[in-house]
Structures are given as C-alpha cells and as structure tokens.
Amino acid sequence: MSVDAWTSALVLGGIRSGKSEFAESLVAAALTDQEGSTVRYVATAEIGDDPAWAERISAHQRRRPVEWTTEEIIEPADLLRSLGNASAEEIVLVDDLGGWVARLLDLDAEAQEQQIEALGWSVGACKATLVLVSSEVGLGLVPTTEIGAAYADLLGATNRTVADAATQVALVVAGQPSWLKQSASRAPAPAGKAAAAKPAVVVPPQEVPEVITPVVADPTAALSAPTMTLPMVATGLVIQHGMDLPMPNEEAERDLTARLATLDLPGAGFGGLSGILAFAAKTQGTATPSQWRSVRVMLVHADFLGSAAAGVDAADSQHRADQARAGAGPIGVLAARLGASLQVVDAATAEPIDLGSATTPEAVEAALRHGWRLAEEAADAGVDLLVLGSCGAGTETTAAAIVSSITGAEIAGLLGRRVSADGRVDDTAWMLRCLAARDALHRIKSVGNNARDLLTELGGAGMAIAVGLMLGATARRTAMVLDGPLGVAAGLLARDLAGQARHWCLLPDHGGDPTTKLGADVLGLDPILDLKLDLGEGASALAAIPLMQSALALAESLWQGAPPAVAAPAETEPDAVDVAGLESAAEPMPGGPGFNAPSGAYPVTEA
C-alpha cells in the first residue's frame, strides 16, 4: 500500500515480524522521493555480553547501506535531543523504541511519564522525515517477572504516545504490513497521555452540498430555494429528547389493506411487496398511494482515524465520494438509472474512538441541525423519498459500536470480516476494528445510551448529520430508505430523540450485515429482499427502489378499475330456510366404499 504525504511513521510488530525491514523500505522510498537527503540511523540497543544479541545487532548493521550514518544513544534524553536537532533535509530512522524504554526502568514513575510525554512532543515537532520502530506489546510473551511487567507497561504507554503524535502507524505481521493510521499532514504533539488526548476542534459544516442529477445534461444545478433554518431553531429551540414529531397515517394503511382485498389478483397477490404498498400508503397519507415522484440520495462521507478504520484507506472513501459527485461509480450509476438526484454530504473526520471522544458536543449540535436543514431543503425542492447512504473509513465499526452499546450485543458478532477486491479476507483488520470498538465501549461504559453522548463519543459528525436528516425528514413527513450499518445506527439514535422517526423509515435489504440485521430488528424494520450486494451503503436501496416503484405502479393501475373498498356488513339473523326444498334440490351424495365426505361439505339432516 502506498502512503502519500507522510512525515512521521511508527512501525509496530512482534519479534521477527519483519518490522525493521519494512521501516528500512520506508526510508529507502523517502530517500528516492527526497533527492539530496541524508539518512541517520539512531540505535537504541545496548550490545551487552549476550553473543546472540550481539549477532542480531550485527545483522542489522550489515543490512544498512554504508551511506547511512549511525548515532547511538546512551541516556533517554539523547533521543529527544537527536530528534530536536534533526533538519528538514534528513531522514531519521529510530530502531527501536524498546531499547529506549529499557533505559527508563531506572527512573521513578514521574520521570518515566515525563520522558514519554517529551518523546511524543519530539516526534510531533521533528523537522525531519521520521520513521520509528517498536515492538507491539500484545504480540510478545506475557512477562512473568515484576521488571518484565513494568517494561511492558512502559513500552505500551510509549507506543500509544508516539502513535498519537505520528502521522502514520503500521503493524507488521509475518512480514505483511497493515496501516492502522494514515493522515495527510503531521499530527500535533500530544499534550499528555494518549488516553487523555483531546479531539480536534471540528468546524461544523455550513454550506449546503451541491445537488446533482446524473441523468440531466447540466448536473451542477443547485437548489433554487434559499437556505432556510427550521422554525424550531429560529425561535431558539434545539433538537432535544422527546420531540413531538408527526406520525404516518395508520388509518390510510388500514384502508389500503381493505382495498387490496377487492383487487382481482391471482395467487397470493403482492406477497412481500404488500409491505411496500403499506409503507407508501401511511407515509403518503392515502389508501391509494402512487409512485414516488422525486428521489434524492443523501450520501454521508465521514472518515474515522485510528484502528476503527483498519483495512480501509481514507483515500478510497474520498474516491467513492468523488465518483458519486461525478455521477459515476455504483451509487452514481444506480441513481442515474433511477432518475434520482444525489447529494454528497462531507463531514469532519472523527478522532480515534478507542482513545477519546469522536468529536465535541458543539460539533454534534451543529451537525444535527445541518442534517435537519438538508432534509428541509430536499422537501422544499419536492423530494418525497430520501435514500440514506454512506462512504467512509471506520463508519461500519462505529455503527457496530453504537448498536452494541444500545443492545448489549457482543461487538465481535456485529463486525463482519472485510473482504478485499481480490477476494482476500483481512482478519488482521477485523481484529483491530474489534479491539478499537471494545476499547471505546469500555471507555464510555459510564456514559449511558443518551443519543447526544453516543454521537459525541462514538458517532462523530457524520452520524449526527444522518440523525438530523432522519429527524428533519420526519418533521416534513418525508419517507426515508435506509441501507446499511450507519442507517440503522442513526435510526436507533433518532428514535431516542423522537420515537416517531423510525415509522418513516424503510429498510429494503439488510445485505447479510449483522449490525444492520440486529439494528433493523430493534427498530421493527422488516426487509423485503435479500440481495447481499456489497457495492457501498445506499446501493442496495437504489437497486430495490425500481421494484418498489413497479409494485406501486401496478397497484395504481389496478385501483383505477377496482370498486371502492366496502366495509364488511354487520352480522344479521339468517332468513328461514326451506329445509325440505333444500333436500329435494340437493345434489345426491356420492357413495361407495372408501368415500369420506369432508366435514361441512354437504347438508346434513336429522333423521
């Protein structure tokens, strides 16, 4: 995997994992890209009296090019000075941090903490292109001695601090690297322990994203109506728990059932599609619903930093969002075939959920209002069906964490394994995502399941926008189609703020995703299809809508020639019957051996 625009990288791995070789390959690649740069190798290990250890160090020395200069550190402060004195024309390789941590064992706890914190600052402020190597604690032997346990604790704290400060973090297993963190620019140096790192200030989205219609020649046409805020926001009110929003028309749904009984249909009639007709009836407020006239896809683009996004490159989600904007890719093509407009909603990148809050409460509030505002603009433009989709690195993990927090389900059972384009199952990424979600759930176990708190700690701005979209659509009596983990997780959070929201939602297909299946079950949403598409969240909904429209079109045409539904008459006393006449007019009963007349098939007279 190529990594662009990196300035510092931490390479983690177990014993003999190939982490040093991979780090050296990063240095070689950087040296190729930065002509005229020099390489400085910072060695941290003490040779001592162990011949085997001395041979391993010698092997590292033989592998390094002769042009590289070597610097050995004696005291912990030597590494800090070395990084502080590095120039922008240098490439510095530190191998490895374990040797540096070993020199901290003679210090007291306060001095150890200060040295680790100072190392984080030094990594973040280093002017050189920096590569650091360290052993991942969880991939080594469990220490059986007190000093071994102390070393493992210090190394784990050091790894977390450096990983927070570095722009890139890779894990090497059996010689195969996986990127855990990728950022386009240098991260700020940490102000303290990694676990206490504060999330970056999120700038709330203000501009309404461009609306495109892939089948129209001029796809740049935007909404003609001016941007309006909700009356409830304009009057100083806020989106809050227990809002009284409108419910769909359940009486229209009952009348539809009566009308369906009057249609001349073979067999079981509409079968599973009758649920589509019922949903259209109650959300349109009529017993004779028609096809949806204007469909809009709202594609939420939101990425997460850290292990929650393991196995997914943020550049790939950006590519998918750009494809959709251009009316290309699965979402763009399916929207074009459907004649739907499409709106890509960019959200601020969320912080690693296993280390701290995904975003700030202020950003959540702004994102909720922004989502509601987008739903209101869509309704003003005549949209009567919204499709919620998403693309983003880490959204599946955070959606699973939210569903797990609400339902108590085990996170490992909610996160499906990621399969690459070549059919390879990435178990390493799955494990990292599970660990990130578990750490996040442990971190917030005292927070509770309040929607705002879960959005702040786990969901981020992207999820908050999705929740705001649902609430705004509910307020404007606009039906919404969900598709995938983000949709059902947002539905559960929207239910906490306004219980009516889930009744305006439809889930055509759960796609076999365990998070989506469980979330849909809690929301009471019954899928009608089982396509198992994996083309991005929103694609299954777009593929199902033509079938839904066909069912409405057929019902609409049949209703035009059908008699109006009539309620069943009240029961009355039956008229007197001439039994003798019935006996004389009755068809003779067949007889013969072995004949058994069905119960009630023929009139029975008393002797």
Determine the Cα–Cα distance for residues 212 and 192; give it in Å rounded to an integer: 45
Q: Is the dihedral of CA 596, 598, 600, 603 positive or negative?
A: negative
Q: Give the ranges where 39-87 is alpha helix by DSSP (H).
A: 51-63, 76-85
- Structure-block tokens of residue 588: 């003779």
Question: What's the number of CA atoms in the CB half-sphere (13 Å) around residue 378?
Answer: 37
First to last CA, the chain: 93
Determine the Cα–Cα distance for residues 566 and 568; give it in Å rounded to an integer: 6
The β-bridge relationship of strands 211-212 and 295-301 is unpaired
The β-bridge relationship of strands 168-173 and 129-135 is unpaired
| Burial per residue of 382-400, b for 16 or more beta-carbon CB atoms within 10 angstroms, e otherwise | ebbbbbbbbbbbbbbbbbb
Can you state the percent helix, strand and coil of the chain, rounding each to 5?
A: 45, 15, 40
Residues assigned a catalytic role: 60
Identity (one letter) of the amino acid at 544? A
Phi/psi of residue 420, nearest 5 degrees: -75, 175
The answer to whether 373 and 330 have CB atoms below 8 angstroms apart is no
Geometric angle at alpha carbon 191, from 185 and 194, rounded to 5° = 80
Name the nearest CA neighbour of 184 among 7, 26, 2. 7
Beta-bridge partners for 590: none
- Residue showing tokens 């001395």: 54
Element spanning 149, H or E: helix 146-165
Determine the Cα–Cα distance for residues 390 and 466; give it in Å rounded to an integer: 9
Name the nearest CA neighbour of 256 among 229, 274, 243. 274
- Length of the chain equals 607
The answer to whether 348 and 300 have CB atoms below 8 angstroms apart is no
